[in-house]
Chains A and B, each alone.
Chain A
Amino acid sequence: MTAFVIRRLLQSIFVLALTSLIVFLGIYAIGDPLEILLSPDASLAERDQVSRSLGLDRPLPWQYLNFVGDALGGDLGRSFVYNRSAVTVIFERLPATLELVLTALVLSLLIGVPLGLWAGVKPRSRTDETIMTASILGFSLPNFWQGMMLIMIFSVTLGWLPSTGRGQTGTLFGVQTSFATHDGLRHLVLPALNLALAQIALVIRLTRTGVQETLPLDFIKYARARGLSESRIVFVHVMKNILIPIVTVLGIEFGSLIAFAVVTETIFAWPGVGKLIIDSINALDRPVVVAYILVIVTMFIIINLLVDLMYSALDPRTRARPA
């Protein structure tokens, strides 16, 4: 186990180093930071001076090591737009994104699991067919278009819910969150639904497969033989056995929700990291873009590492794979 953990840690560090190298080469070496930092009519002497002060006249490997050194100290440059540390700007926006992602995750479970159970206990029935077709429709719906349609229906036509922004936030357990106010919750509904829809489709499929694999097993037959009610069998015995794979996959899907939050936040003008990265790309705010990529990649590496470690703790067979 220890060997496995060490191997996975080294692998994670390698990936992070590789990403930082690619980002560095792509953004700093191919592009010219001077173009952005200096006005077009800057003199040659001015260019030289800025270039020296930024270390741009040094050889590339030195620049890269310098970049990595700064990054390790949490310094990824100052945002051109906000004139503050890029990392700070990102961490300020992160809670809004996490709030959205967690709500979507909970929604996908609350809606997806019951529908998946329903489809699973009646395989090949009309209910099953309908739910499964709806789930294909769910993940075929282009996320951004689906969000626009939600706005059109619920904000423009019906006028029930606000379409943009996070609304009023309140303090709950010392954290600024939309959960705390009625207005905040109203603002949360559409973006969370938008983000959750594709996940609901996925949870339905997972649950249905799980139910169909569990139902023919002996312990279910035994439970039937004992005369347990069908609802008890489904909601207690089957449920227990399918929740583990669902929860594991949701751990991974958490990452994909953070990715798709970029789209949702852009449509609903939700002030999280996803909208920040798109705004920063458009404003050519390179330090924020670089910081976003490195922070998100680090986050994913940690999530993937935790999932792997969890697997290997639960299932020793996965440890045997050669590195």
Chain B
Amino acid sequence: MTHQEPAPTGGAVLPPDAGGEVGTSAARGDSMAGRIAAGILASPKASIAALVCVFLIGAALGAPVLAPQDPYDLTAIDIFDSRLPPMSVGYEGQRYVLGTDTQGRDMLSAMLYGLRTSLSVGLTAGLLALAVGTALGLVAAWAGGRIDALIMRTVDLMLGFPTILVALMILVVFGQGTWKVILALVFVQWAYFARAVRGAALVEIGKDYVEAARCLGLSSGRILFAHLLPNCLPPLIVIGTIQVASAIAAEATLSFLGIGLPITEPSLGLLIANGYQVLLAGLYWMSVYPGLLLLALVFAINVVGDRLREILNPRLVR
């Protein structure tokens, strides 16, 4: 195992020559992308969901341009405009389409920035977990024996505990902060990827192309990440999609409980938590709208993920 590439980078990023070597991987990759696109377009439900995903990612990226107000800029916020219901006109004549919060912040702007925070935390955590889990799963399948047993027993152990509980314990023990939330999410999610990759890799290892690569004297690292990995992609894509959704939901839950992200970068979860304080007073818009946005995001990603599962499931391929 001396040729092992460093785990975090090796799993997620393919070397540039990944496809060219065996020849089949590049062609396969193209046909897979085509199959995914065709499969999503074939289902109206999935097409709409994919469109919503693209739209929301665009809104998150464009938040600084799209938002009517910079919610972090205290000079732009007017305390006279606090607690205004949706469609109100503010002190300086500006219109608050989704109302304002208790500090007089424009809800729409706060939500756009919150979406940005939620998405970036969810994507970062999901991709890191994918990298770590993939690397460990491949190593387990390749090495076998004691290393395999050690990694897989750890996976079983992790999967025996609910995500939210482990993340909560980690944050309680090690303190809060954006990176700690991301690390906690990676820590609870890598196991799903590791199990899926190991299963797929064990099937692939028995095939002739791996034997051929071995006979060519290629290093373990090269065989694992350049040849095996591209062929283990289908389950990874499905689980990756669903885990990003689950990371976003988990972060929102942790932030709602007050042990997630710091209040300086309010995510959607924190916005909802703020709205919860005034919900019983009938000021519904501070929690309903951010919640709907969070729901739309998680639901759209899950619908796409569900469709991907149907498209990429080898049992359903005719």
Q: Within 8 Å CB of B153, what residues of A?
A: 11, 323
Q: Which residues 142-188 in A have Cβ within 8 Å of B in the complex? A: 142-145, 148-149, 151-152, 156, 163
Known pairs A15-B157, A281-B259, A282-B258; A142 contacts B45 (CB<8 A): no
Question: Is B162 within 8 A of A142, CB to CB?
Answer: no
Least CB separation from A303: chain B residue: B160
Given that A263-B257, A323-B149 are contacting pairs, would A142 and B298 also be in contact in the complex, using a CB cutoff of 8 Å?
yes
- A163 contacts B161, C-beta separation under 8 Å: no
Interface segment, one of B20-28, B54-62, B288-296: B288-296
Contacts of A252 in B (CB 8 A): 160
* A-side contacts of B252, CB under 8 Å: 142, 144-145
User: Is B149 within 8 A of A322, CB to CB?
Assistant: yes
Give the CA-CA distance A322 to B148 in the complex, in Å.
10
The complex places the Cα of A15 from the Cα of B154 at a distance, in Å, of 10
For B146, the closest partner residue in chain A by CB is A322
- Bound-state CA distance A148–B303 (Å) is 24
Residue B91 at the chain A interface, CB threshold 8 Å:
no
Is the beta-carbon distance between A142 and B276 smaller than 8 angstroms? no
- Which residue of chain B has the shortest Cβ distance to A304 in the bound complex? B160
Q: Looking at the complex, which one of B173, B284, B295, B299 makes contact with A22 (CB distance below 8 Å)?
A: B173
Determine the chain A residues whose CB is within 8 A of the CB of B287 once the complex forms.
Answer: 145, 148
In the complex, how many angstroms separate the beta carbon of B152 from the nearest chain A beta carbon? 9
The one of A142, A152, A163 in contact with B253, judged by C-beta atoms closer than 8 angstroms, is: A142
CB atoms of A142 and B249 under 8 A apart: yes
- Which of A39-47, A111-119, A230-238, A254-262 binds B? A254-262
A266 and B282 alpha carbons, distance in the complex (Å): 19
A15 to chain B, nearest CB (A): 6
Whether A278 sits at the interface, judged by CB under 8 Å, is yes
Residue of B nearest to A278 (CB): B257
Which residue of chain B has its CB nearest to the CB of A132? B306
Q: How large is the interface on A (under 10, 10 to 19, 20 to 34, 35 or more residues)?
A: 35 or more
In the complex, A233→B282 CA distance in Å?
51
The one of B163, B164, B168, B295 that contacts A140, using a Cβ cutoff of 8 Å: B295
Taking the complex as formed, is B165 at the interface, i.e. its CB lies under 8 A from any CB of chain A?
yes
Cα A27 to Cα B303 with chains together (Å): 40
- Cα A95 to Cα B302 in complex, Å, equals 35
Contacts of B173 in A (CB 8 A): 22-23, 26-27, 293
Decide yes or no whether A296 CB sits under 8 A from chain B. yes
Residues of B within 8 A of A30 (CB): 174
- CB pair A145 B291 closer than 8 Å: yes
Known contacts A149-B288, A152-B279, A137 near B162 by CB under 8 Å: no
Q: Is B172 an interface residue (CB 8 A)?
A: yes
Q: Which of B161, B168, B257, B302 contacts A300 (CB 8 A)?
A: B161
Residues of A within 8 A of B269 (CB): 142, 144
In the complex, A15 Cα to B156 Cα: how many Å? 12
Cβ contacts B62-79/A at 8 Å (1 or 0 each): 000000000000000000
The answer to whether B149 touches A145 (Cβ under 8 A) is no
Q: Does A50 sit within 8 A of B, measured CB to CB? A: no
In the bound complex, what is the Cα–Cα distance between A315 and B62 (angstroms)? 54
Q: Are the CB atoms of B280 and A140 closer together than 8 Å? A: no
B245 in the interface (beta carbon within 8 A) = yes
**Smallest CB–CB gap between A256 and chain B, Å?**
4
Closest to B299 in A: A140
Q: Is the CB of A148 within 8 A of B276?
A: yes
Give the shortest distance, in Å, between B298 (CB) and chain A (any CB). Answer: 4
Given contacts A304-B160, A323-B149, contact A144 B259 (CB under 8 A): no
- List CB contacts (< 8 Å) of A251-282 with chain B: 252, 255-256, 258-260, 262-263, 266-267, 277-278, 281-282
A-B residue pairs in contact (CB < 8 Å), sample of 5: A142-B294, A144-B253, A145-B252, A148-B276, A156-B280
B residues at A contact (CB < 8 Å): 45, 149, 153, 157, 160-165, 168-169, 172-174, 245, 249, 252-253, 256-259, 269, 272, 275-276, 279-280, 282, 284, 287-288, 291, 294-295, 298-299, 302-303, 306
Given contacts A152-B284, A152-B288, 17 further A-B contacts (CB under 8 A): A15-B157, A26-B173, A133-B45, A140-B249, A140-B302, A142-B249, A143-B253, A144-B272, A148-B275, A149-B291, A156-B279, A256-B162, A258-B162, A262-B257, A278-B257, A300-B160, A322-B149
Going nearest first, the 6 A-B pairs with the smallest beta carbon separation are A26-B173, A259-B162, A259-B165, A145-B291, A140-B299, A256-B162
